[in-house]
Amino acid sequence: MRILDISVPLRDGMVVWPGDVPFRRHQTVSMACGNDYNLSAITTSVHAGTHMDAPRHFIAGGATVEQLDLSPFVGPCRVVEIANPLAIDLGDIERLDLKGVERLLFKTQNSALYERPEFVENYVGLAPDAARHLAKIETLKLVGVDYYSIAPFGSAAVPVHEAILGRGIVALEGINLREVEPGDYELIALPLRIEGSDGSPVRAVLIQR
C-alpha cells in the first residue's frame, strides 16, 4: 500500500485567496523560554490551503460542515488529467468515462503553481457548463481541483459553485496532484467538525493498493 499526501502545507506566509485571513501559527508557550512544554495557536481562513467547501459557502441556507454526511470524503476516487491550459470545459468532461465515478479529482497545470510565492489568477478551473454537466452525474459525490477554487477566478465563481454545491457535491480545493499519476485510488479527505462553518481545512491523501 502506498499513501500519497496531496495536501498543501499550512505555514506562515503561504498563499491564500486574495482578501482571506492569512494563515498564522504563533507559539504561545515555549520550552526554549523555560516552560515545560510547547504550545501553538493558529489564525486562518477555513478556506486556506487544502480545504473543502460546504454548501453554505455559496448556497443560502445550505448545509454547514458538521451537517454533512462523511461518506463523500472517503472511498474510491478517480484522478484525471486535463491538458487544457485555459479551463476544464464541457468538451473535456464529455471525453471522460465517468460511469459510476463517485469522487473525481482534476489534475491540471495548476499543481506547478504552488511553487509561486504569490496568488495566480489565471489558474485552470471548471467552466460553468462543465460544472452543470458534472452536477447531472448521479453517482458523483465529490469534485476536486488542484488550486484554491474549483471555479476560475472572477465571475464564473458563483455559477460553478452553485451548480456543484447546489447539487450537494463536495468541492475539494487546494489539492496538489503534481506527483500523482492519473488513475483510480482511494481518497481520504475528512474535514474538521467546525459547527456552522462554510468550509474546513482537510488532510487529503490518496491510497494506492
Residues whose CB is less than 8 angstroms from the CB of residue 29 and which lie 6 or more positions away in sequence, other chains included: 35, 37, 38, 39
Active site residue 47: no
Residues whose CB is less than 8 angstroms from the CB of residue 171 and which lie 6 or more positions away in sequence, other chains included: 52, 53, 57, 142, 143, 144, 150, 161, 164, 165
**Alpha-carbon gap, residue 43 to 176, rounded angstroms:** 23
What values do phi and psi take at 178, rounded to 5?
A: -60, -35
Choose, from 26, 47, 51, 57, the residue flagged as catalytic.
Answer: 57
In the block, cell 490551503 appears at 49
Which residues are known catalytic residues?
57
